Structure 1
Amino acid sequence: MKKQILSAVLISTMLAATLAGCGSKAADPTTAAPAAQTEAAKGEETKAPEAEAKAEEPKVDDANLSEVEKIIKEAETMSMEELAKKAIEESNGKTFYGVGNSSRGKTALPLFIEYLQSVDPSYTMEYEWQQPKNNKIFEQLSADSLKSSGTFAMTLIQDGNQIESKMVQTGILKTFIPKEWADANGTTADAYTGFLPLQTLNKVFMYNSTGNAEFNNCWDFVAEGVHPLYMDIDSEVVGKNFLYMLTEDTYAGWLKEAYDALDSSKQAYFKPVVDEMATDAQDLGLGENGAYALAWIKLWVENYNEQTDDGPICNTLVSKTATDQCGLLVYSKLRSVEESSEVSVNNIKVAAYQDGYKGIGGYGYCHYLFLTNNSPLPWTSCAFIAYMTNTADGFSAWGKDMGGYSSNPTVMEETEKIYGHSKGGYNDKGENEFDSKNDRGYEWWTTDGELVLEDPEYCADVSFTVGSWIELLTKYSDSAQ
């Protein structure tokens, strides 16, 4: 039955692709992906975390630009100071409504107002920031887009897959690339393709180290009897994007390399699953190591212990009583651990930091910034976005957390100087008290740490095929409710 369903999925996908091809314009072969831009800009010592955001908005002739798009095009040539003057003229005495997956937009807004007041002391602006629960942000933005003038001026949003398919391709959200941000990343607004990331966040593999269990390889997290704590993929969809990305050739190759590093007894346990996945990998059109990706995904989905949030996962793992338990969770949660005789950061280890660890160390995804295409305050939105992406003060609402990296290399460097995340585990005496809190930084995580990075375009491309395959898997029956 599973094979029949999978075949039906693939037939439907090919038919949809054929129909789409008949009525769509061919991709512009001159459009460069951000990854290629990063390569071109390697003269910069520090590169921006773009999370391989290759998805791009449909090209629109200037004559057909919306009013918001016309403002964005002009704003992309302006300095932040020039944008500030435009914002003051537009929004003085008004109310700014924002919406986002992160509540910290509400923290950044008063700082932005203070910045505008440094330009014009008489400036005032009220603000409201909404954070919809249960992934309702897409419904909220879709409903607001039906108005001639929307309520929401801009958004800070995650989940590249749904952003690309539901928000960008439909024209609801529009990307603005601040001039200083482009300069810092060695590109221009015209040359850059993709969404504008505020930051990359990482979720990393951790395990309780009070017992004898060892996790020396990413395959150890899907071994027999291991049930990692993880937010359910149907409640936090970026977790499903992580699984999609594992089927991409680069990351499937990392899983194959990690498998090859296992001893023969462990390989013998996983090999039947890998062999079983070979046909599915071929049917899904995956690369040569696709079977390893599907095997890891299958074992993960069928064994992870479903949790409601990363906070409780962290609270569990750092407890002395959570012997040998493990999980995949947002790295920054360690910052809020209150040390006691029963709870300590020293009760866990970050897997990728351990000598000899092999394979993927975690998953990176972005918070992206957009204007709504019917923004009531587009100039103010552009200025706010420029402020958050080009200044350490603007990024400070997020900058206090390790594992959250500004997409502007200059701001990333300034943030590290302020907060010292690389030595976040050192105490006032200069002693390395909590080693797991010493963040090794974006460059390390995306190289040695083998962080899997979300690519919105790839996720959207495979969300129906690989996504439908994942839906056929049976989740671990004893998951926490």
Structure 2
Amino acid sequence: MKKKLLSAVMTFSLLATSLAGCGSGTDAGTTGGSAQGTDNQTATQTQTDAGTQTVDPANMTETQKIIAEAQTMTLEELAKKAIEESNGATFYGVGNSSRGKTALPLFIEYLQSIDPSYTLEFDWQQPKNNKIFEQLQADSLKEEGTFAMTLIQDGNQIESKMVQTGILDTFIPLDWAQANGTTPDAYNGYLELQLLNKVFMYNTTGDKTYDNCWDFVAEGSHPLFMDIDSEIVGKNFLYMLTEDTYAQYLKDAFDALPADEQAYFQPTIDSEKEDAELFGLGANGAYALAYIKLFVGAYNAQTDDGPICQTLVTDSATDQSGLLVYSKLRSVEESSGVSVNNINIAAYQDGYTGIGGYGYCHYLFVTDNSPLPWTACAFIAYMTCTEDGFSAWGKDMGGYSSNPEVAKAIETTYEHSKGGYNEAGEDEFPAKDDRGKEWWVGEGQLVVEDPQYCASVAFTVGSWIETLDKYTGEESE
């Protein structure tokens, strides 16, 4: 009965999506995280869902008009506008990262280097339990909002709840666009502050090895992972597995397995062929759905990545594994029974096959009813176009600035590629040697969040995920 009900719901959803798409004015071919060029357009452009959309200037909001002008200015020119607008004022920001509170004083110092008389009070809020969307929605009802800008994650909800509803506007700094080899008008996507990665790790104190991503969903394997109902970006990871590129990664990894291991997974793959067709997935969709089903039924739900890391690096975590934020290794304090050398990064091991983890972004937006739009634009440009602006996040490996020039400067300063080296020049903790963004999205087969794709399958694949049985701590009969 559950299967038939889900099928009916999916059929209705796909029909509704098709009908809605017929009247859409957006570019459905754009993605949320790539700097891709498009043909030059003469009409004014503004950032909508996950790409650019031509908009009649007469229909632009006042904030969108300011953004259109701001996108033609350098950081220094924006700074002068910010000084004129907000000297003596109070700046309110809201974000998923508390480090916005660290970046704001540096931004104020930068403005004071231009005008020593400049002052700005600030308040940075970090709502708990993913309440940032509710907070921004409530603030959007005011003619003039409280929050000037936001630093926010979860591309799916950003797309559906924030951008399509007109609550948030994307601003693309000119300096950032030029560093990425494009222009603000030609860039398709949201503005990323950084890409963060969660990677597969496993404890090395026993004999168990993980040389294929399917090993993490094999019989008896229960990787530690933040529950998808408490950290929603985890669902985006599962959604993205169904995208053709990542489904192909899973199929290739499956093909590399020994015949006996393939035989264990094959019945689950076969059982998902019907759903894959129903959801309109690609040729390897059944492999993606099978992996999702097995992963949801296997992972050991945790409340935070910090404790996961502290568990895996202990001597007593023999044969355990996890999928967690890479940067957590930076906070491990070596002691008797605790060491980074008690774990391996799966994707770094010779012979490992398949996805190495997933990446999600922190995005930057100006609120459409921003009380200080010029200052918001200047602050966003400062964080994305200068090393000092990104320094609040720069000390962590596994967090990569979206600006290649800033990323290069950060690596020069912090040398994350040699994060495991000691003062004597010895590679004491190889797991901490970050191989960098290009490696992870290439050879490391990182599954990278695409807001538009996540939103497109959130109801179909997302509704199906809600029907899956989770691991409860007891093996199924």
Aligned to 1:256: 251
Is 1:205–1:352's contact at 8 Å kept on the other side of the alignment?
yes
Q: Tell me if 1:442 matches 2:433.
A: no
Is 2:36–2:188's contact at 8 Å kept on the other side of the alignment?
no
Letter of the 2:241 counterpart: L
Is 2:52–2:185's contact at 8 Å kept on the other side of the alignment?
no
**TM score, norm. by length of structure 1:** 0.94
The DSSP-based 3-state class of the residue aligned with 1:474 is: coil
Aligned to 1:75: 70
Q: Distance in 1 between matches of 2:27 and 2:342?
A: 52
Aligned to 1:17: 17
Is 2:37–2:188's contact at 8 Å kept on the other side of the alignment?
no
Aligned to 2:226: 231
Aligned to 2:103: 108
Q: Which residue among 126, 133, 137 is the counterpart of 1:138?
A: 133
Is 1:100–1:129's contact at 8 Å kept on the other side of the alignment?
yes
- Aligned Cα root-mean-square deviation (Å): 1.6
Aligned to 1:383: 378
Q: Distance in 1 between matches of 2:309 and 2:261?
A: 28
* Matches for 1:64-213 after TM superposition, within 5 Å: 64-213=59-208
Aligned to 1:358: 353
Is 1:96–1:128's contact at 8 Å kept on the other side of the alignment?
yes
Distance 1:387 1:309, change over 3 A: same
Distance 1:34 1:230, change over 3 A: closer
Q: Tell me if 1:218 matches 2:213.
A: yes
Aligned to 2:450: 455
Letter of the 2:10 counterpart: L
Q: Distance in 1 between matches of 2:136 and 2:302?
A: 27
The DSSP-based 3-state class of the residue aligned with 1:322 is: coil
Is 1:99–1:155's contact at 8 Å kept on the other side of the alignment?
yes
Is 1:33–1:54's contact at 8 Å kept on the other side of the alignment?
no
Q: Distance in 2 between matches of 1:378 and 1:290?
A: 43
Distance 1:373 1:146, change over 3 A: same
Distance 1:356 1:38, change over 3 A: farther
| Cα deviation digits, residues 188-237 of structure 1 (max 9, x gap) | 11111110000000000000111111000000000001110000001111
Is 2:106–2:389's contact at 8 Å kept on the other side of the alignment?
yes
Distance 1:94 1:63, change over 3 A: same
Distance 1:377 1:35, change over 3 A: closer
| Cα deviation digits, residues 354-407 of structure 1 (max 9, x gap) | 000000000001000000000000010000000000000000000100000000
Aligned to 1:49: none
Q: Which residue among 270, 282, 303 is the counterpart of 2:298?
A: 303
The DSSP-based 3-state class of the residue aligned with 2:136 is: helix
Distance 1:250 1:274, change over 3 A: same
The DSSP-based 3-state class of the residue aligned with 1:117 is: helix
Q: How far apart are residue 338 of structure 1 and its match?
A: 0.5
Is 1:58–1:169's contact at 8 Å kept on the other side of the alignment?
no
The DSSP-based 3-state class of the residue aligned with 1:143 is: helix
The DSSP-based 3-state class of the residue aligned with 1:265 is: helix
Q: Distance in 2 between matches of 1:192 and 1:232?
A: 34
Q: Distance in 1 between matches of 2:34 and 2:104?
A: 34
Aligned to 1:345: 340
Is 1:217–1:258's contact at 8 Å kept on the other side of the alignment?
yes
Percent same amino acid among aligned pairs?
Answer: 72
The DSSP-based 3-state class of the residue aligned with 1:358 is: coil
Q: Distance in 2 between matches of 1:124 and 1:131?
A: 23
Letter of the 1:12 counterpart: F
Deviates more, 1:7-16 or 1:288-297: 7-16
Q: Distance in 2 between matches of 1:152 and 1:37?
A: 28
Q: How far apart are residue 20 of structure 1 and its match?
A: 1.9
| Cα deviation digits, residues 327-347 of structure 1 (max 9, x gap) | 000000000001001111000
Distance 1:36 1:239, change over 3 A: closer
Letter of the 1:17 counterpart: T
Is 2:27–2:53's contact at 8 Å kept on the other side of the alignment?
no
Aligned to 2:424: 429
**TM score, norm. by length of structure 2:** 0.95
Which sections of structure 1, spanning at least 5 residues, go unmatched? 41-52
The DSSP-based 3-state class of the residue aligned with 1:356 is: coil
Aligned to 2:388: 393
Q: Distance in 2 between matches of 1:105 and 1:17?
A: 37
| Cα deviation digits, residues 260-287 of structure 1 (max 9, x gap) | 0001111111111111111111111111
- Hey, which bits of structure 1, 4+ residues long, moved more than 6 A? none
Distance 1:185 1:98, change over 3 A: same
Q: Distance in 2 between matches of 1:57 and 1:171?
A: 14
Q: Tell me if 1:6 matches 2:1.
A: no
Deviates more, 1:381-390 or 1:270-279: 270-279
Distance 1:343 1:36, change over 3 A: closer
Q: How far apart are residue 472 of structure 1 and its match?
A: 0.6
Q: Tell me if 1:324 matches 2:319.
A: yes
Q: How far apart are residue 16 of structure 1 and its match?
A: 1.7
Q: Distance in 2 between matches of 1:70 and 1:430?
A: 53
Distance 1:193 1:310, change over 3 A: same
Which sections of structure 2, spanning at least 5 residues, go unmatched? 39-47
Q: How far apart are residue 6 of structure 1 and its match?
A: 2.0
Q: How far apart are residue 21 of structure 1 and its match?
A: 4.1
Is 1:93–1:125's contact at 8 Å kept on the other side of the alignment?
yes
Q: How far apart are residue 180 of structure 1 and its match?
A: 0.3
Is 2:32–2:452's contact at 8 Å kept on the other side of the alignment?
no
Q: Distance in 1 between matches of 2:270 and 2:37?
A: 36
Q: Distance in 1 between matches of 2:407 and 2:425?
A: 23
Q: Distance in 2 between matches of 1:150 and 1:325?
A: 47
Is 1:57–1:169's contact at 8 Å kept on the other side of the alignment?
no
